[in-house]
Structure 1
């Protein structure tokens, strides 16, 4: 009887924690699944409309996919046909340009014809994160020395942002190239003007900032640290809107995207999980779990990219080399 009571109490505690977290058991069966990198992937990004994915594969360079047609559009090699070391990929909001980078160099590619636009080497410090504005107007390069470079390839203009005191972990850029959002190991994320490097808003955290993301329509910013503060901010005022609600002592995010209507935030994680959050309240609304590689032991996968596809579907790309399409259930 004593053990039965103990089991009952543990069961009640488990159910209570699940209810407190606001999450149900994650969905693990996607609507569709496609293999985009046979031996796994190093990096990926998904276009704003969810039609295209760019995947840096462990053994086959960089490939651009038209997702639902399951058709490879282009194959790119960053530095010849040797080992592919591209660990950062970003598609511009207008689907016109892609930027890719390894630790030492970055390249711009034309999505309309698959041709390279340019290749630039960085000598001062290794590249940690990249982002590109519409039409390739400007490129952000976050580096391990704490500096962020804003670069316009058409004019050769280069601006260095020196706001961070330690290495930069994540960057994002507004579609028009006017504003940059950057976060680093110095516990700070900055929104700054790429015309002059002036800081517009400062977002502070109690630990190192691991991910930043801008709403393409200029409404919100998202910043997350290595512990428990994952904050949505009003981009116009710099005021907090909500903090993501979870009971875990630590939660790391690998990608974040706002829905077109501004109601939801979609995030990926290194633990196979995808989460849908309510922007206004920070409450979780849904959860999915991507597939690991078949030969992975233990079975794990990093969610590199997430994206909305219309109003009721989402797309994910993960280190397993798989693209997976998931349905958002009506509430």
Structure 2
């Protein structure tokens, strides 16, 4: 029985989709790292590389957080909120000058002196802290809180400077939406927030004025200023990662390995969607590395979002395929990328 015109078109469409899927799957390769280390026995909820490229702070599950020296691969400091009771570190961060580190255990923040490893201040908030960013010198904090707000906090004066909210207008909701992610600009003047209202927003931290709003198609899970402060990177869950100009507010690039228009009809196909969980910027500002929850790392040209290569990190257990890339960093010479994984493994990769 001859096929109908409709059936023939469906087959052609499915065949085209299959070819696209094959071309995408061929883009990411299995690679072997130049070096590999174990930084956690039980895995971690959070990790971060210091801006000076010398250390990585890993928040072990049910163990103290550990600051690892990347050159010697030895623990320099072991940190926890209460010396006699190890809690799970839920988030970690550094000041841009790499002089202050922060560990978060649910509602408690401790700021640590990187020079001697001693605690500088302990802060307890009434609600759970979802994400934290430090000002360039560590004297201010921007916090995403479980109560649907982001708080800009003055550590020296021990006071809240601003409270930011994401109203539900973008998702047609009468209530404020959860804020998931935050960042502070390199000059300390501006803040980024990303939330369940599908938007990333930029604020003046002193006045509280909203300066930019960027719309996405899903909950925004990651925001970041580049080290020069000229661009913003934002990513939504199961959506595309985008680069925006701070000055104009316009989109600079979309970070995607898809061979089709990601904003077209095939852009919503699941294979073209990816969540970004980590970002690193090369020392010269020309390249961006992204980490994803499917154990994938990609390197891009920052100017136009061109994909230069993607590869998979190793699994700790072959039966556990999900490996979240928690943190990335370029080496000082820009020729290698360090990765820290949620399964406790760390690697160094040579960029091809």
TM-score (normalised: structure 1): 0.89
Structure 2 gaps of 5+ residues are: 1-13, 167-175, 259-270
How far apart are the structure 2 equivalents of 1:278 and 1:41? 30
The offset of 1:221, in angstroms, is: 0.3
Structure 1 gaps of 5+ residues are: 1-9
How far apart are the structure 2 equivalents of 1:314 and 1:321? 17
Name the residue aligned to 1:75: 78
- 1:180 aligned onto 2:180: no
Name the residue aligned to 1:5: none
Name the residue aligned to 1:149: 151
| Range that drifts further, 240-249 or 310-319 | 240-249
RMSD: 2.2
How far apart are the structure 1 equivalents of 2:137 and 2:289? 25
Name the residue aligned to 1:320: 343
Name the residue aligned to 1:6: none
- 1:286 aligned onto 2:288: no
Distance change (3 Å), C-alpha of 1:81 and 1:36: farther
How far apart are the structure 2 equivalents of 1:78 and 1:148? 23
Aligned ranges 1:29-48 → 2 under 5 Å: 29-48=32-51
Among 241, 245, 250, the alignment partner of 1:234 is 245
How far apart are the structure 2 equivalents of 1:27 and 1:46? 24
How far does the alpha carbon of each residue in 1:151-177 deviate from its partner, in whole angstroms, 9 at most, with x for none?
121122422333312111111112332
The offset of 1:25, in angstroms, is: 3.4
| Range that drifts further, 137-146 or 22-31 | 22-31
SS of 2:232 mapped into structure 1: strand
SS of 1:135 mapped into structure 2: coil
The offset of 1:18, in angstroms, is: 4.9
Bigger-Rg structure (1/2): 2
How far does the alpha carbon of each residue in 1:70-128 deviate from its partner, in whole angstroms, 9 at most, with x for none?
121100012444342211111222111111212212121111111111111111x3211
The offset of 1:12, in angstroms, is: 9.9
Distance change (3 Å), C-alpha of 1:265 and 1:23: farther
How many residues are matched? 317
Name the residue aligned to 1:212: 223
Among 277, 280, 285, the alignment partner of 1:262 is 285
Aligned ranges 1:10-159 → 2 under 5 Å: 17-19=21-23, 21=24, 24-123=27-126, 125-159=127-161
How far does the alpha carbon of each residue in 1:202-224 deviate from its partner, in whole angstroms, 9 at most, with x for none?
11112211110111211210011
How far apart are the structure 2 equivalents of 1:284 and 1:206? 22
TM-score (normalised: structure 2): 0.84
